[in-house]
Amino acid sequence: MLTIRRILFPTDFSDGAARAFPQAAHLADWHDAELHIVHVAGPQDEADTALPVSQDTLQEWLGQPSGSFSLDTLSIVQHQVESDAPPERLVAYTEDQDIDLVVMGTHGRRGIRRMILGSVTEEVLRKASCPVLTVRSDAEETPKQAIRRILVPVDFSEASEIAVQHAKEIAQTYGAEIDLLHVVEEVVYPSAYGVEPPYVPSQDIVARVEKALGTMAREDIGYEHVQVSARIGYAPLTILDYVESNDIDLIVLATHGRTGLDRMLLGSVAERVIRRAPTPVFIVKPDQKSLVPPAKAEAAATSE
């Protein structure tokens, strides 16, 4: 089981934010963690958008009672802070309170609007030192509470190895299956390179990659409820297609944490998937806080 003691659920009282609350509440219940509900109030906020919120409102955010637990059993802390820079204030809160996991909604903005306005979720994702679980507010279906199938995109980097370890612990908590997916991307060179035609990976390469994924499943996960797949295509779109066609409940994905001009120009697979994924996305960073028990994390590092 993951080591989660404190969970941060930021809210702006929108429907998009509320959609992530069931995930935060259920995880807090599973891990007996303290749930921090935080609102960053700006100078233009209405007087009625303030914490604390009532138990009835929390129950509305939770949705229909599942019978699995009661909000009364949770340790809930509500904080309202003032700032005109919500992402920075939320990141500071994660550090001040030693938060282990942030669970928050994302509006899935794309194109010019997202570029100009940015996204609080994406800013927290880039700057927070702990993992972040995102839930899209405009997805067609409400995320399932019972996780049965977890997808881990793997690029064989140290970052994806850490994502696999987190997925293993989540899977053991929920009794879920794991899918390991590697996307073999076609390489198209500019004509100035004088390389024709573009390189197209062969099925032989796909077979070798699936064999490597099988070895990873056996050595790093070690139980039979694992499927492996290698596909040719563009990584973000292939990952999203896999989610849609395989009834995936959760994506566990590592981000390399690009910032500045490099991130602005190149983007990242993680951020593209987050904006469009219909399922929650659990993001881990290789150089930041790990939720894997220390003994298991050390064992994983030793095996590399």
Report which of 14, 30, 65, 8 is spatially closest to residue 170, judged by C-alpha positions. Answer: 30
Percent of the chain's residues with pLDDT above 90: 46
Name the band, by pLDDT with cuts 50, 70 and 90, for residue 240. very high
Report pLDDT for 189. 62
Averaged pLDDT, 30-49: 83
Domains 6-136 and 149-303 in one fold: yes
Note the CATH number of domain 6-136: 3.40.50.620
Report pLDDT for 42. 76
Q: Which of 59-63, 107-111, 207-211, 299-303 has the highest mean pLDDT?
A: 207-211
Q: Is the pLDDT of residue 65 over 60?
A: no
- Tell me which of 160-169, 176-185, 215-224 is least confident: 215-224
Report pLDDT for 137. 76
Q: Which of 38-42, 45-49, 114-118 has the highest mean pLDDT?
A: 38-42
Distances from the Cα of 38 to the Cαs of 10, 35, 149, 164, 219, in angstroms? Answer: 5, 10, 30, 30, 40
Which residues, 6 or more positions from 128, have their beta carbon under 8 angstroms from its beta carbon? 90, 91, 94, 99, 102, 288
Averaged pLDDT, 15-39: 92
CATH topology for 149-303 is Rossmann fold (3.40.50)
Report pLDDT for 117. 37
Per-residue model confidence as pLDDT tens digits over 216-237: 999 999 877 899 999 988 899 9
Q: Where in the chain are the domains?
A: 6-136, 149-303
**Do 247 and 143 form a contact (C-beta atoms < 8 A)?**
no
Averaged pLDDT, 166-182: 93
Dihedral of CA 50/52/54/57: which sign?
positive
Residues 90, 92, 95, 98, Cα dihedral to 10°: -40
Q: Is the pLDDT of residue 198 over 80?
A: no
Q: Is the pLDDT of residue 298 over 60?
A: no
Average model confidence (pLDDT) across the chain: 83
Q: Is the pLDDT of residue 3 over 70?
A: yes
Per-residue model confidence as pLDDT tens digits over 256-288: 655 554 444 334 788 889 888 999 999 998 888
Per-residue model confidence as pLDDT tens digits over 101-151: 999 988 644 444 433 334 788 889 888 999 999 998 766 566 666 789 999
Name the band, by pLDDT with cuts 50, 70 and 90, for residue 50. confident
Q: Is the pLDDT of residue 24 over 50?
A: yes
Kindly report the pTM of this predicted structure.
0.85
**Do 124 and 104 form a contact (C-beta atoms < 8 A)?**
yes
Percent of the chain's residues with pLDDT above 70: 77
Averaged pLDDT, 43-67: 76
